[in-house]
A and B are shown apart, each in its own frame.
Chain A
Amino acid sequence: MSTEAFAPDRPYRLSPSVALRPEPFGALVYDFTTRKLSFLKTRLLVDVVHALEEAPDAHAALRSAEVPDGQHGQYLDALAGLASAGTIEVRGD
């Protein structure tokens, strides 16, 4: 679990203890440490999570995955949830 609040101006990545399995409807994400299964409900969110790895911050990942402007708030909320669950974490580079 992350103790830090989600900060969209920082770089993130999928946590090393997490496996992401693509599915036709989005993706399943399993955390080997917490043994929780998360369901990413849209392919766009899966694209965003992948984009995090290369993006300088979460805002940039949203743009790179071409999330429509009107949905940025919703996707940042989703990322905040994933960060607090430990699914994604701040990238230290």
Chain B
Amino acid sequence: MSENHTVTTAEADIEEDLLVEEVSIDGMCGVY
């Protein structure tokens, strides 16, 4: 648990430093 937690926090810190985050929203809102 604590080990995993450390890794997650470190990753979060790296992402915090990035000024741009990108996601695909192509599949959203499409239903059946």
Whether chain A touches chain B in the assembled complex (some CB pair under 8 Å): yes
Interfacial chain B residues near A42, Cβ < 8 Å? 19
**Contact between chains at B25 and A78 (CB < 8 Å):** no
Q: On chain B, which size bracket covers the interface? A: 10 to 19
**Contact between chains at A74 and B19 (CB < 8 Å):** yes
Q: How far is the CA of A41 from the CA of B23 in the complex (A)?
A: 13
**Contact between chains at B22 and A78 (CB < 8 Å):** no
Count, A-B residue pairs, CB within 8 A: 39
Interfacial chain A residues near B9, Cβ < 8 Å? none
Most buried by A among B17, B19, B24, B25: B19
- Per-position binary interface string of chain A over residues 21-54, scored 1 when its CB falls under 8 Å from any chain B CB and 0 otherwise: 0000000001000011111111001000000000
Interfacial chain B residues near A40, Cβ < 8 Å? 19-20
Within the complex, which residue of A35, A74, A75, A78 is in contact with B24, where a contact is CB–CB below 8 Å?
A35
Q: A82's closest neighbor in chain B, by CB?
A: B20
B27 smallest CB distance to A (angstroms): 9
**Contact between chains at A36 and B20 (CB < 8 Å):** no
Is the CB of B13 closer than 8 A to any CB of chain A?
Answer: no
B interface residues, Cβ below 8 angstroms from A: 17-26
A interface residues, Cβ below 8 angstroms from B: 30, 35-42, 45, 74-75, 77-78, 81-82, 85
